[in-house]
A = this chain, B = another copy of it.
């Protein structure tokens, strides 16, 4: 494994290996040390949460971090090309984490720079480390990954976390319930890919029909920043609101996941129920990112 650009590049075995390593790190059985390593965080789209997760992962392994968040006041502002920016920062660091609004930025980076590249989100395309922490969270709460029944709810069209998740799950024979307004259905090319892998898919728009059947419900935010048409956003923004009152007949192993941040799609009255797992899910991100960074730096033996 040289880079982590898309979850589609990873085999079932590679995914399971990373989850296993993350688990050892969480349990304290593995304590990677990267005190000789500088990681660059190059976020053309600013983000606090994902930045904090990567910085924490690296710093907990004694690694050094240099961070650019947003392009204001950078050489990009002075007219520098993307390629030059990436090549220059690669000179300073041993591994690079890139977030961008432009799809494909990280693939391009991996082709022009000699150090490992981690994709921390490219537009509406992929977010593979989010996917790995989601798989880690699912396995941890369910004790397994294979043959689970999973509902994915919300913005399936623009949500890169969702796009990565369904590809990640496709190695584990899930039964997928894809719940969204018509306007925000999962892209056709992804659906075709899943069907080619014989994944059982049910599309619908009513989450009450599936909530009692599934092991995991993965809710996503309708992302205002992905819409060019604000009218369209206003029509769908509150189409799903999960509240405590819906949990009367859910399975006992049922867990609610969300990549965060949430706006209104999960009521706060859910937070104290045993079904809420989204804050722990965020915490799991640090372990899995420690595993990913360590693997790319030569293995976390």
Contacts and interface: CB of A to CB of B under 8 A. Distances in A.
Interface stretch (A18-26, A191-199, A247-255, A278-286): A278-286
A263 B59 contact: no
Interface string A221-246: 10111000000000000000000000
A92 B40 contact: no
A97 to B, nearest CB: 14
Contacts of A79: 224, 261, 263
A261 B49 contact: no
A89 interface: yes
A260 interface: yes
Interface stretch (A5-13, A67-75, A135-143): A67-75
Nearest to A284: B91
Given A87-B279, A261-B78, A286-B91, A40 B66 contact: no
Nearest to A70: B73
Interface string A91-128: 11100000000000000000000000000000000000
B52 A66 contact: yes
Given A38-B60, A56-B92, A84-B261, A49 B75 contact: yes
Nearest to A91: B283
Given A73-B46, A83-B268, A89 B52 contact: yes
Given A60-B38, A268-B83, A74 B48 contact: yes
Given A68-B48, A73-B70, A268-B83, A88 B282 contact: yes
Q: How many copies does the complex hold?
A: 3
Contact of A59 (B66, B68, B83, B91): B66
B73 A64 contact: no
B38 A91 contact: no
A210 to B, nearest CB: 25
A52 B91 CA distance: 10
A129 interface: no
Contacts of A83: 268
B66 A224 contact: no
A62 B59 CA distance: 11
A134 interface: no
A257 to B, nearest CB: 14
A221 B84 CA distance: 14
A53 interface: yes
A274 interface: no
Given A49-B74, A56-B64, A78-B261, 11 more contacts: A46-B74, A49-B75, A53-B92, A56-B92, A56-B93, A60-B64, A70-B73, A75-B261, A78-B263, A79-B263, A88-B261
The 4 closest A-B pairs by CB, nearest first: A46-B73, A80-B261, A75-B261, A91-B283
